[in-house]
């Protein structure tokens, strides 16, 4: 034991002496004072709530040389950088600023692209096109945002900003040549050599998007299992995987999340992060349609039956697993994708391909008898009962784009709830029956598809209907929030976001 400790100390001393040791700060490699600020800045990471506090001085970041405190890592190719940021205190200079900055080097006069917001609310996409050149800018009409995103697509840089609850406002810079290999990170500049300013960054995400030529359902990128406080928008990544993981449910006791990956289901223990397989017996080709009964006793699943040409069929088993699943839909009737239970756990509700169209049906778990609730040639999907059993919420493309709808439990009084240009999917009612959370896909997708790897929004609206507001900007899509994922106290949701390795 003593020898091993001695070897470790010698190795550490060697690495430190020769510059090979590197103390990461959260997801970043290091913090550096760019230029020569008169006051020494610093950066720290709070692992418990996944926030960064960054402090620094520095004069104006505008002319040929910059001064600021930088918390950085290195990337290649395209990326999306996103964070929620707040200044600490009232500050001294109204031009103090924070944001994301992309640099070719750590030199003070490096070419850069900088998505910034200032103490006085000014928000702009700033850039230096040549080494030692003056900074230029594109001003945003948005003021004092809390969320700042900077995206690179080749030589195009897009700054998107918003206050919590709002949609993005974007500014685009084209023909900005930077190195393929760049430094990226968050920063603070006091705009005053004699003053230290601080900012707190939360919800910090570095996202490497999927290759544009990927093949859906064959080529996957990594996943983040996230938990978010709905009232504040604060998010925490509880598990990262290089696999595709999808569709987390929250168990009724509030202790676990159930998610699927590669056809299998898994339990994630929130207290200690332990992951264990959920034994579903022969059903190991499950898709992301798994839902617990309202009392938490049973788990419904959609499994692709290899004896029925791989058709998706409905089954259920105890939530604890370790039991042979009971089949509900009958062989040969067509593909069935499970989405919810009736409050009395006697019926499952699903999207079924019957007579060449996908409509909404219920099925008795006792005898497999089905009842069709919608009857249109266009896609109806994502059905879910309200906790009181009076209504069913679903999404439908019947008006040309995918929108949210509500109907009575018997299928009558079908009423549209959303009317905007986005494609809105998977309405999930909170346990206290006050809210509906759902995912909004971009306008440019096929409204009958819910694809992977898009810049989406999670939005919320009152149970009775009304104007939606944004609670999260997410890179994800298919698998992000396909199933009911509210915490039992209606305060949080679980979901999946995606990124390739970087």
At 54-102, the pLDDT tens digits run: 999 999 899 999 999 999 999 999 999 999 999 999 989 999 999 999 9
Judged by average pLDDT, the poorest of 10-14, 27-31, 257-261, 366-370 is 10-14
Are residues 252 and 175 both part of a single domain?
no
233 and 188 assigned to the same domain: no
Higher pLDDT, 11 or 241: 241
Mean pLDDT of all residues belonging to the chain: 94
- Residue 214 domain-assigned (yes or no): no
Per residue in 341-387, pLDDT (tens digit) is 999 999 999 999 999 999 999 999 999 999 999 999 999 999 999 99
With tokens 């909170």, the residue in question is 430
Strand, helix or coil for residue 352: strand
With a cut of 70, say whether residue 269 has pLDDT above it.
yes
Q: Of 178, 207, 236, which one is at a domain's C-terminal end?
A: 207
| Same domain, residue pair 190 and 265 | no
Instruction: Compute the distance between CA of residue 392 and CA of residue 342 in angstroms, rounded to an integer.
Output: 9
Residue 419 lies in a domain: yes
Q: Is the pLDDT of residue 108 over 70?
A: yes
Whether 10 shows a pLDDT value over 80: the answer reads no
**Res. 9: pLDDT tops 70:** no
Instruction: Report yes or no on 5 lying in a domain.
Output: no
Percent above pLDDT 70 for the chain: 96
pLDDT at 227 over 90: yes
Q: For position 281, what pLDDT does the model report?
A: 96
- For residue 249, pLDDT over 90 is answered with yes
Specify the CATH number for the domain of residue 427: 2.120.10.30
One domain, residues 266 and 134: no
For the domain that residue 77 is a member of, what is the CATH number?
A: 2.60.120.200
Same domain, 405 and 449: yes
pLDDT at 498 over 80: yes
Same domain, 306 and 243: yes
Place of tokens 């890179």: 475
* SS3 call for 333: coil
pLDDT at 19 over 60: no
Residue closest to 73 by CA, chosen among 81, 62, 61? 81
458-485 burial, b for 16+ CB within 10 Å, e for fewer? bbbbebeeeebebbbbbbbbbbbbbbbb
Q: Which long-range contacts (CB under 8 A, 24 or more apart) does 487-490 make?
A: 487/250, 487/254, 488/250, 488/252, 488/253, 488/254, 488/431, 489/254, 489/431, 490/230, 490/430, 490/431, 490/432, 490/434, 490/435
Six-digit token string for 306: 């290899």
Q: Which pLDDT belongs to residue 60? A: 86
Determine which helix (DSSP H) or strand (DSSP E) holds 11, and give its type and residue range: helix 2-17
In what helix (H) or strand (E) does residue 489 lie, and over which residues does it extend? none
Are 385 and 422 within one domain? Answer: yes
Is the residue at 242 inside a domain? yes
Q: Compute the residue count for the chain.
A: 502
394-406 pLDDT tens trace: 999 999 999 999 9
Q: Is-contact 472 228, C-beta < 8 A?
A: yes
pLDDT at 22: 60
The answer to whether residue 27 sits within a structural domain is yes
Nearest partner of 246 among 310, 324, 293, 301, judged by Cα: 301
- Average pLDDT of the residues in 416-437: 98
Tell me: do 29 and 118 sit in the same domain. yes
The answer to whether residues 294 and 396 belong to one domain is yes
Q: Tell me the CA distances in angstroms from 65 to 39, 73, 188, 418, one per residue in order.
A: 17, 21, 15, 50
230 in the same domain as 174? no
Task: Reply yes or no on whether the pLDDT at 21 is more than 70.
Answer: no
| Model confidence band, residue 23 (pLDDT cutoffs 50, 70, 90) | confident
- Which pLDDT tens digit goes with each residue over 290-308? 999 999 999 999 999 999 9
Q: How much of the chain, in percent, has pLDDT values that exceed 90?
A: 94
Kindly report the pTM of this predicted structure. 0.94
What pLDDT is stored for residue 18 in this prediction?
Answer: 39
Residue 193 has pLDDT above 70, yes or no: yes
Please tell me the total count of domains within the chain: 2
Q: How far apart are CA 193 and CA 440, in angstroms?
A: 45
Whether 388 shows a pLDDT value over 90: the answer reads yes
- Clarify whether residues 52 and 181 are in a common domain: yes
Whether 8 is covered by a domain: the verdict is: no
User: Is residue 384 situated within a structural domain?
Assistant: yes
Helix (H, G, I), strand (E, B), or coil: what is residue 343? coil
pLDDT tens digits along 273-283: 999 999 999 99
Same domain? For 96 and 235 the reply is no
Structural domain range at position 308: 222-499
Position of tokens 């798994």? 290
Where is the domain boundary, 207, 235, 269? Answer: 207
Say if 125 falls within a structural domain: yes
Last residue of a domain, one of 207, 235, 261: 207
Whether 171 shows a pLDDT value over 70: the answer reads: yes
């Amino acid at each position: 034991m003593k020898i091993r400790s001695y070897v470790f100390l010698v190795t550490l001393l060697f690495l430190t002496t020769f510059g090979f040791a590197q103390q990461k700060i959260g997801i970043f490699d290091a913090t550096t004072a760019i230029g020569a600020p008169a006051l020494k800045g610093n950066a720290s990471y709070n692992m418990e709530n996944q926030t960064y506090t960054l402090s620094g001085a520095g004069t104006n970041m505008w002319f040929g040389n910059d001064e600021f405190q930088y918390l950085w890592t290195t990337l290649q190719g395209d990326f999306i950088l996103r964070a929620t940021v707040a200044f600490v205190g009232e500050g001294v200079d109204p031009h103090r600023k924070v944001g994301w900055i992309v640099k070719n080097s750590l030199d003070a006069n490096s070419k850069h692209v900088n998505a910034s917001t200032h103490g006085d609310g000014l928000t702009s996409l700033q850039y230096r096109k040549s080494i030692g050149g003056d900074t230029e800018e594109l001003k945003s009409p948005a003021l004092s945002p809390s969320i700042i995103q900077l995206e690179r697509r080749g030589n195009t840089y897009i700054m998107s900003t918003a206050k919590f609850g709002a949609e993005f406002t974007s500014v685009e810079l084209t023909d900005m040549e930077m190195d393929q290999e760049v430094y990226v990170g968050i920063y603070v500049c006091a705009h005053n050599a004699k003053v230290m300013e601080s900012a707190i960054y939360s919800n910090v995400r570095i996202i490497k998007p999927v290759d544009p030529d990927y093949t859906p359902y064959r080529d996957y990128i990594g996943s983040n299992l996230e938990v978010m406080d709905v009232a504040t928008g604060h998010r925490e990544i509880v598990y990262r995987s290089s696999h595709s993981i999808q569709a987390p449910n929250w168990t009724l006791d509030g202790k676990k999340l159930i998610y699927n990956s590669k056809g299998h289901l898994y339990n994630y223990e929130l207290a200690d992060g332990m992951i264990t397989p959920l034994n579903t017996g022969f059903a190991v080709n499950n898709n992301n349609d798994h839902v617990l009964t309202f009392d938490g006793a049973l788990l419904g699943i959609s499994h692709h039956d290899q004896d029925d040409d791989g058709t998706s069929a409905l089954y259920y088993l105890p939530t604890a697993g370790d039991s042979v699943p009971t089949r509900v839909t009958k062989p040969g009737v067509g593909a069935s994708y499970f989405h919810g239970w009736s409050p009395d756990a006697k019926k499952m509700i699903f999207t079924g391909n019957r007579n060449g169209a996908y409509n909404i049906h219920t099925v008795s778990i006792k005898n497999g008898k089905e009842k069709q609730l919608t009857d249109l040639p266009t896609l109806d999907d994502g059905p879910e009962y309200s906790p009181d059993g009076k209504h069913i919420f679903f999404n439908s493309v019947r008006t040309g784009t995918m929108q949210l709808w509500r109907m009575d439990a018997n299928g009558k009084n079908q009423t549209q709830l959303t009317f905007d240009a986005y494609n809105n999917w998977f309405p999930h009612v909170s346990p206290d029956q006050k809210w509906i959370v759902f995912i909004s896909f971009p306008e440019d997708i096929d409204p009958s598809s819910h694809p992977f790897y898009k810049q989406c929004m999670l939005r919320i609206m009152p149970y009775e209907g009304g104007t939606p507001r944004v609670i999260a900007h997410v890179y994800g899509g298919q698998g992000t929030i396909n199933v009911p994922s509210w915490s039992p106290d209606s305060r949080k949701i679980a979901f999946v976001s995606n990124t390739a390795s970087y």
